Amino acid sequence: MILHLSWSRDEDFESALTVAHPVDRRPDDRRAREMLGLRFKSVKLDEDGGQARNFYVWDDEEKARAFFAEEIIDKVTGIHGVPPEVEYLDIVGFVDNPGT
């Protein structure tokens, strides 16, 4: 299950992303431990800085929805200044190629 969050706004997202996703994040981060069932997370900022996208790969939809409750959506809306578009997508194929 992929949870895709995306935001669009006229201002640059870079400063909000720096607050939400500091560079020195480690795998033992408390927030990561609270995200039971989370397998991967990817954060992307478009070149012009006007759109941010987060991709979360979860074990299943139930775990994704349990974590991304209204409280978390409100929190990320406060960080980014606009509410995210939220999509739950089924994974039909996935390649994990850690050796490259």
pLDDT of 19 = 47
2-89 CATH: 3.30.70.100
- pLDDT averaged per 10 residues in sequence order, the chain, 100 residues: 74 52 49 76 78 86 88 85 88 82
CA distances, 80 to each of 19, 24, 99 (Å)? 10, 20, 35
53: left (phi over 0), alpha (psi -120 to 50) or beta: beta
Is the pTM higher than 0.75? The answer reads: no
Extract the tokens encoding 69: 């409750």
**Are the C-beta atoms of residues 11 and 81 closer than 8 Å to each other?**
yes
Name the residue ranges covered by the structural domains of the chain: 2-89
Task: Count CA within 13 A, CB hemisphere, residue 75.
Answer: 8
